[in-house]
Amino acid sequence: MRRTCSTLTLTLTLTLAVGVAGPTLAAAPPAPAVDHGAEVAQRCAACHAVGREGASPNNGAPPFRKLTARYNPIGLEKALKRIGRFGHFEMRPQQMSDADMADLAAYIASLEAPPAGK
């Protein structure tokens, strides 16, 4: 529970900091939660575009970079937990820990920031 709370706090902080600092923050190295979330995202890549560019292999699966427009950070983490446990449309439930889901949410939030060096 402690890791989930601290990761959620990191996600909220990252999201707010990116909004305030903009490109300055994007040059900073990614947090461990974001790195781990990028690894977790690879489990989803068969259907979703999980990077900053490209179309989803499954037309019905939204690109991860567009999820921040649909959800605030807390709503995104809750949706990921719900979808992970119960599935969603064509997607079957996924075996992920709360920490995996929190890190995945942090990774998805990081896709909003411009890539380092841009």
Which pTM does this prediction carry? 0.69
- Whether residue 19 lies inside any domain: the answer is yes
- Whether residue 59 lies inside any domain: the answer is yes
- The structural domain count of the chain equals 1
96 close to 1: Cβ distance less than 8 angstroms: no
- Whether residue 82 lies inside any domain: the answer is yes
Whole-number Cα distances in Å, 86 to 24, 44, 60, 76: 39, 15, 18, 15
Query: Mean pLDDT of all residues in the chain?
Result: 78
- Whether residue 115 lies inside any domain: the answer is no
Does the pLDDT at position 38 exceed 90? yes
**Which domain CATH number covers 80?**
1.10.760
Range of the domain at 38: 2-110
- Whether residue 116 lies inside any domain: the answer is no
- Whether residue 69 lies inside any domain: the answer is yes
40 close to 96: Cβ distance less than 8 angstroms: yes
- Whether residue 63 lies inside any domain: the answer is yes
Q: How confident is the model at residue 49 (pLDDT cuts 50, 70, 90)?
A: very high
